Structure 1
Amino acid sequence: MSLAVKNISVTYNPINQSNTFTSGDFISGQVILDVAKDTQMQSLSVKIKGKAEVFWTEHHSKITIVYSDEEKYYSVERFFVRGDKTHGNEMLKDPSGQPYSSVVAPGRHVYPYTFQLPLQHFPPTFKSSDGKVVYTLETKLSRSMRISIKDKTEFHYMPRPDVSNPELMAPQYGTKDKKMKFFTSGSVSMNINTRKMGYYPGERLKILAEFQNNSPRAVKPKYCLYEKHSFFAKGKRKLHTNELLKEEGEPIEPNSRKTVTKELSIPPSLAISILNCRILKVEYRLRVYLDVPYASDPEIKFPVVILPPQLVSGATNSDFGVWNQPPGSNMYPNPPAIAPQAPTLNVGPLGQFAPPSYPGSPCHFAPPSYPGPPLGQVAPPSYTGPLDQFGPSVPHQHDLSAPPPYQEYQFYPQLPDHPEKS
């Protein structure tokens, strides 16, 4: 920090107890500038952006290979002060409606701003050792013949849940038969049902299982919920798997049939599923299998989608922009229910949005391939029966000759798939 500029920071105001923002929310805050003497500014700006990035290295003998990639979602910058004032729509004004001065006196100066998050569904905030999805607010102060001074802060973003998707709320069904060889004779079979595919963190996952043991040995059913984190760069995939829950059932005696109901409590701290990002995925699967002595274990796998929890958000609007005047200013003595309408964005080629009337760099959006529910509303699930019964919907049966390709379970904007193993 220079002698003239003591400190610069960007902050935002939480809108709920979880300090989480979602699609369409307004995010307001301040850029705070402390200076020790009269200071001439060339420009002062605030920027909001979101992106995903992956990074890891692999060592082969004496060679180190770096794998990295990024996916940008949006980037919008607005100026409090700017030497080039030809782009008027980029400029923010003070509470009285006047342009900010490029010269500031000693002391603290506060510059309020408001952005609105896009209505598109983007991946939620996520961090791991090999990749992350981050949403940030940045401020930048530029002065003639001096190095620019910056500050940034991250905010937590979570998309709105889309429980209106019929596949998420439909029951799942799978069956498996296995004939024993070598040291064990006979056969075993199992039929597995789950009430649905989509769950909230902390919700209970109910499993209805029917086991047939036509072998001379007792077999034990086991249940496992595990997560898969996949990262993609340069045609390479890095995969991490981790068992989250593992429980055993009562043994199935020889030459007997047994029907059991099992419930697994999904940990409330689980990260929500990420299926709409090109360079990283967060997936979950339920594995039900029989522990058969002296033979390979027959198993059935189901995808499990962890949904975003319901959020109590601030006001929303259909535009993505900046409200130049903060609530309570002279221009708006009685704050409206929602922020005044910002300039409508120009829509360029598919996947590109740019602020109106200036040739800035386009902001890249991944438009969803499905119409989501209206803002502030969540469509009711397709299954409305009692929780202890399976819905009347036709079960979704999986081909268990091989683990199902995961692109079958895409519930977000369709993006290019990567080949992967189960």
Structure 2
Amino acid sequence: MVIYLFIYFVNGSYSEGNTIVGTVSFRLTKEVKVKSLSVKAKGDVKAEWTEGTGYFQITHTAKRRYFKVKEYLIAKNGTVLPKGVHTFSMPSSFKGVYGKIVYMFEAKMSRSWWRPSKVKKKINFISKTFQQFWEVMVNTALTRHPQSGTVSKNIGGLSQGRVQMSATTDRNVCTPGETISVVAKICNSSSKNTRPKFKLEQKTVFRCNESTKKWVMNLFKEVGETISPNSERTVSCQLKIPDDAISTIHNCEIISVEYYIKVLNNFLVTSHPLRNKTALTNNNNSLQVSQFLTVSQVYLDISFAVDPEVVFPLVIVPSRFAAIQPGEAVEPHPPGTTVVTS
């Protein structure tokens, strides 16, 4: 009987062209005739979502297999293995894999009259396109260069005037856990109060034939102090990239992941809430209006299409690639182990 079966990778992550090096081990409590022992590596990407309800419900699905490699450590004709610990090297390899896909390594032992024993371990795959991208950036002196943008809007209606905003970031490429410095200079020549906002957005797009599905998530948000009418102010923000942020994905036809830094200047709408609804109802109109106006003003932070906004694209790359120089080899991450019992 198989007590346990586990996979051990010498390296914790792999890229195109690397060889998977590791160990498949299992312990037997008695002599067992094994029909076969195989290892399999594969990479897949899949997107799926549903639209509509009832008879009008449509499911969109797109998938692609990038590779599948299978090797037999013990041939199909079977062999008898004695009691004890058994160890085999894993010779399988892969290359040319792109995008946010699932890479899985599976070891399977088949026995007569027994259900197969399996163990699976995800392969931490990091595409070499990041290394190529980084080398191009280094060679063209574009790595981590500052970004700047300016927007100006004339405001009509009750908030007549002009609002101008200039914003800068200290880099266009970063790694998870880093902090980006963002500075905005705002000239508020309108008659309304405004309030600056800084955001980091992650936009994921899923594609299936002609259909697309977008998912936008805010990873960071900071709101600045109110800027009075006819005034000017310079505000700054230290934007922290989450430690668990996934890398930008731009080389997969089914799924893409992009990041944007947004600097906004929202107009604040003045509201006068009722303090005592019962008293106002029982009094005449003149008293009602008087009491209404004595209540302190409340500013509602509402986003409008007219709000000035500067958007900066941001590329997030793995830390291991951001530290390399052109032509330098990349060392994989520390090893990991998966154990399963049966």
TM-score when normalising by structure 2? 0.72
> How far 1:208 sits from its partner (Å)?
2.7
CA RMSD of aligned residues (A): 3.1
Aligned residue number for residue 263 of structure 2: 288
Alpha-carbon distance change, 14 to 107 in structure 1, aligned in 2, over 3 angstroms = closer
Deviation digits for residues 149-207 of structure 1 (CA, Å, limit 9, x no counterpart) = 54322132234543334355333222211111111101101122222211111111111
Q: Separation in 1 of the partners of 2:26 and 2:115?
A: 19
SS in 2 for 1:310: helix
2:135 maps to 1:164 = yes
Aligned residue number for residue 23 of structure 2: 29
SS in 2 for 1:292: strand
Q: Is the 8 A contact 1:44 1:139 kept in 2?
A: yes
1:77 paired residue among 63, 70, 74: 70
Structure 2 counterparts to residues 51-70 of structure 1, below 5 A: 51-70=44-63
> How far 1:63 sits from its partner (Å)?
4.9
> How far 1:214 sits from its partner (Å)?
1.6
Structure 2 counterparts to residues 337-356 of structure 1, below 5 A: none
Aligned residue number for residue 180 of structure 2: 205
Alpha-carbon distance change, 36 to 231 in structure 1, aligned in 2, over 3 angstroms = farther
Using the aligned pairs only, state the percent identity.
27
Q: Is the 8 A contact 2:26 2:85 kept in 1?
A: yes
> How far 1:134 sits from its partner (Å)?
1.5
Aligned residue number for residue 316 of structure 2: 306
1:102 paired residue among 79, 86, 94: 79
2:259 maps to 1:259 = no
Q: Is the 8 A contact 1:289 1:299 kept in 2?
A: yes
Deviating beyond 6 angstroms after TM superposition, the runs of 4 or more aligned structure 1 residues are: 144-147
Alpha-carbon distance change, 240 to 310 in structure 1, aligned in 2, over 3 angstroms = same
2:327 paired residue among 355, 374, 378: 374
2:33 maps to 1:39 = yes
Aligned residue number for residue 108 of structure 2: 140
Aligned residue number for residue 5 of structure 2: 9
Which ranges in structure 2 are unaligned for 5 or more consecutive residues?
Answer: 270-303, 332-342
SS in 2 for 1:164: helix
Alpha-carbon distance change, 83 to 224 in structure 1, aligned in 2, over 3 angstroms = closer
Which structure's residues are more often helix, by fraction?
2
2:222 paired residue among 213, 232, 247: 247
Q: Is the 8 A contact 2:185 2:233 kept in 1?
A: yes
Q: Separation in 1 of the partners of 2:136 and 2:246?
A: 20
Larger Rg: 2
Q: Separation in 2 of the partners of 1:205 and 1:275?
A: 22
Q: Is the 8 A contact 1:222 1:289 kept in 2?
A: yes
Alpha-carbon distance change, 258 to 25 in structure 1, aligned in 2, over 3 angstroms = farther
SS in 1 for 2:23: strand
Deviation digits for residues 360-411 of structure 1 (CA, Å, limit 9, x no counterpart) = xxxxxxxxxxxx9435269xxxxxxxxxxxxxxxxxxxxxxxxxxxxxxxxx
Q: Is the 8 A contact 1:8 1:151 kept in 2?
A: no
Q: Is the 8 A contact 1:141 1:150 kept in 2?
A: yes
2:144 maps to 1:173 = no
> How far 1:270 sits from its partner (Å)?
1.5
Alpha-carbon distance change, 51 to 31 in structure 1, aligned in 2, over 3 angstroms = farther
> How far 1:70 sits from its partner (Å)?
1.9
SS in 1 for 2:21: strand
Q: Separation in 2 of the partners of 1:258 and 1:38?
A: 78
Q: Separation in 2 of the partners of 1:173 and 1:185?
A: 27
SS in 1 for 2:242: coil
Say how many residue pairs are matched: 285
Alpha-carbon distance change, 287 to 25 in structure 1, aligned in 2, over 3 angstroms = farther
Q: Separation in 1 of the partners of 2:311 and 2:262?
A: 5
SS in 1 for 2:159: coil
Q: Separation in 1 of the partners of 2:179 and 2:38?
A: 47
Q: Is the 8 A contact 1:48 1:138 kept in 2?
A: yes
What letter corresponds to residue 230 of structure 2 in structure 1?
N
What letter corresponds to residue 80 of structure 2 in structure 1?
V
Q: Is the 8 A contact 2:196 2:264 kept in 1?
A: yes
Q: Is the 8 A contact 1:206 1:261 kept in 2?
A: yes
Aligned residue number for residue 190 of structure 1: 165
Q: Is the 8 A contact 2:14 2:124 kept in 1?
A: yes
Which ranges in structure 1 are unaligned for 5 or more consecutive residues?
Answer: 85-100, 125-132, 312-371, 379-422
Q: Separation in 2 of the partners of 1:226 and 1:50?
A: 28
Deviation digits for residues 4-61 of structure 1 (CA, Å, limit 9, x no counterpart) = x53573402354xxx44445364312143637444152x3221222222223333422
Deviation digits for residues 83-114 of structure 1 (CA, Å, limit 9, x no counterpart) = 58xxxxxxxxxxxxxxxx73323444332224
Which structure's residues are more often strand, by fraction?
2
SS in 2 for 1:267: coil
Alpha-carbon distance change, 308 to 264 in structure 1, aligned in 2, over 3 angstroms = same
Q: Separation in 1 of the partners of 2:240 and 2:30?
A: 57
> How far 1:221 sits from its partner (Å)?
1.3
Q: Separation in 1 of the partners of 2:219 and 2:252?
A: 23
Alpha-carbon distance change, 69 to 83 in structure 1, aligned in 2, over 3 angstroms = same
SS in 2 for 1:272: coil
Alpha-carbon distance change, 81 to 34 in structure 1, aligned in 2, over 3 angstroms = same
Q: Is the 8 A contact 1:12 1:28 kept in 2?
A: yes
Q: Is the 8 A contact 1:209 1:259 kept in 2?
A: yes
SS in 2 for 1:169: coil
Alpha-carbon distance change, 235 to 8 in structure 1, aligned in 2, over 3 angstroms = farther
